[in-house]
Amino acid sequence: MDNKPILFLDSGIGGIPYCRDFLKRNGMETVYYLADRENFPYGPRKKEEIASILISLTEKLLAKINPKLAVIACNTASVSALSPLRQKFPGLPFVGTVPAIKPAVSACKSGKTGVLGTERTIADIRGLNLETGGCEITGVSAPELVEFVEKRIVSADEKEKKEIVKKYVDLFREQGIDALVLGCTHFLYLIDEFRREAEPQIKIFDSLDGITNRIEFLLNENGGELRAGKDCTHDYKFILTGTQPPDSSWINRAKALGFKLCLIDEL
C-alpha cells in the first residue's frame, strides 16, 4: 500500500478534466494538481526548454511532496519531456498524454485523420512514430484556442464557443477529414461544441479514457502495491507556480474541484 499523492500536471487548467475523470472511480487516492501558470503557455516554446522546465519542477515536487506517480496531463509537455523525465527520474512512474491517433485512424474511413494541438505538439507529432495505419495525418496548431480556454472558458458565451470551434472544424472538413483528434488537453473543455459542430461526418477523439485506464493499470500492478490504503488521509491540493497571489479565477477553479489552493513555495 502506498498513501503518497498522485501528481497531475499541466501548464494551466488543461489537466483538470483528467484529474476529475480519475477521481470518479478512484476517490480513495490522494491527488495533487499542479498548474504551471508561470510558464503558460508551453506550446510556443522549444522542446529543450519545456523539458528543462518539467525536470526542474519534478525535482522540486519530489523534494516537497514525493508523489508515487506523475501524470503529465499535457500533450505538449509529454511529447517534449516524457523521455528526458523518465531518464532523469527512473524511480518515478510517469503517465504521459499523447494524441489519441490510434483509435482515430482505426475509425477513419476517408484515409485522412486530423490532429488539433499546440505548435510544439504538431511540430513533433511525426517524431513520435505513432501508428497511423496508412492514414494521412493533417496537423493544425491552435494557440488561440489554448488561450481562449485558459482565459475565457468561464466567461465566454455559447455563441463565442461555437464560432471558435466551427472555424477549426470547417478547416478539417474542407480537407475531407472524417476523424479528428483533440491533441491538447485544454480542448476537452470544448468537447461538446466539437461534437455538435463536427459529428456525425467527423468523429472526435480524445485521450481521457486512455489516461485514466493507464493510471489504474499502474496502480493495480503487482497486487496493487501503489494503491492507497484504507488509512489514507485525503488532502487534495491545487498547486500554483509563481509567487503572485492567486486571483479569483484560480480560487474558483480549486473550489470547484474541492482542492485546497496553495503556491508551490508554500508546500
Secondary structure E strands in 48-135: 69-72, 94-96, 112-117
User: Which residue do the cell numbers 508554500 mark?
Assistant: 266
Which among 19, 74, 108, 135 is annotated as catalytic?
Answer: 74
> Of residues 121, 141, 212, 241, which one binds ligand DGL by CB under 6 A?
121
**Minimum gap (Å) between residue 80 Cβ and ligand DGL:** 10
Sequence-separated (6 or more) residues with CB below 8 Å from residue 43 = 76, 117, 118, 119, 120, 121, 141, 143, 146, 184
Site for ligand DGL in 208-247 (CB under 6 A): none
- Interacting span for ligand DGL (CB under 6 A) from 130-138, 178-186, 228-236, 245-253: 178-186
Cis peptide before 143 (omega within 30 of 0): no
Site for ligand DGL in 186-205 (CB under 6 A): 186
Would you count residue 118 as binding ligand DGL (CB under 6 A)?
Answer: yes
- Interacting span for ligand DGL (CB under 6 A) from 37-45, 126-134, 205-213, 218-226: 37-45
Backbone phi, psi, residue 230, to 5°: -65, -25
Closer of 11 and 113 to ligand DGL (Cβ): 11
Cis peptide before 200 (omega within 30 of 0): yes
Would you count residue 10 as binding ligand DGL (CB under 6 A)?
Answer: yes
Would you count residue 42 as binding ligand DGL (CB under 6 A)?
Answer: yes
Query: 263: exposed, middle or buried (C-beta count within 10 Å: 0-12, 13-18, 19+)?
Result: middle
Bridge partners, 179 (sequence order): 113, 203
The 237-240 sheet, strands edge to edge: 94-96, 69-72, 6-10, 31-35, 237-240, 260-263
Closer of 146 and 190 to ligand DGL (Cβ): 146
Residue type, 205: F
**Minimum gap (Å) between residue 134 Cβ and ligand DGL:** 26
Catalytic residue flag (residue 184): yes
Closer of 176 and 242 to ligand DGL (Cβ): 242
Would you count residue 74 as binding ligand DGL (CB under 6 A)?
Answer: yes
**Minimum gap (Å) between residue 192 Cβ and ligand DGL:** 18
- How many other C-beta atoms can be found within 10 angstroms of the C-beta atom of residue 122? 24
Catalytic residue flag (residue 232): no
Residues that bind ligand DGL (CB under 6 A): 10-11, 14, 40-43, 74-76, 118, 121, 146, 184-186
